[in-house]
Amino acid sequence: MSEHTYAERELVLMRLIDAPRELVFRVWTEPKHMAQWWGPHGFTNPVCEMDVRPGGKLYIVMRHESGFEHPMPGTFIEVAPPERLVFDNEATDAHGRILLKGHVVVTFEDEGGKTKLTVHARATGLVPESVQMIGGMEQGWSQSLDKLGEVLAGG
């Protein structure tokens, strides 16, 4: 049975973060840190589980301030500290139905003690409501990366 695609989007975001790349890599790969910044404004992550190795599982539940939860299971494909992180992820509903599939490549480059962070994210929507989710993808990633910068700045 083939999947119907309702929407697709690919984007690349870059940030220069005032922190060494080993530290930036760590806040991407340690659940206690990732839970502090993952997701757009208005979201917390009451569940953040990560087995950071190729084939290892990722499971985050993003909870909106309204109480609505967005489960996000995933799998790590490539883990090359502190340079590169690749994972697939899915957005599911409360019943485990897959709404969209994502593929994320994150690179961490040393820029004189700072980190040039590049996120290359691709998403494919599998249900009609995924069109709206993909429409907010750039804003969601931008807000997540802003929150990441705040966490690393000690804010």
The model's pLDDT over 20-34, given as tens digits with 9 standing for 90+, comes to 999 999 999 999 999
* pLDDT given at position 1: 46
Q: What is the dihedral of CA 4, 56, 62, 152, to 10 degrees?
A: -130
Pairing verdict, β 114-125 and 98-111? antiparallel
Fold of 7-65+78-152: Alpha-D-Glucose-1,6-Bisphosphate; Chain A, domain 4 (3.30.530)
Average pLDDT value for residue range 70-95: 95
Range name among 45-49, 126-130, 151-155 with the lowest pLDDT average: 151-155
The pLDDT, as a whole number, for residue 141 is: 96
pLDDT category at 95 given cuts 50, 70, 90 is confident
Where along the chain do its domains lie? 7-65+78-152
pLDDT digits (tens, 9 = 90+) for 9-20: 999 999 999 999
Across the chain, the runs of DSSP E, i.e. the strands, are 7-17, 43-50, 57-64, 69-80, 84-92, 98-111, 114-125
Q: Residue 154: its pLDDT value, please? A: 80
pTM of the model: 0.94
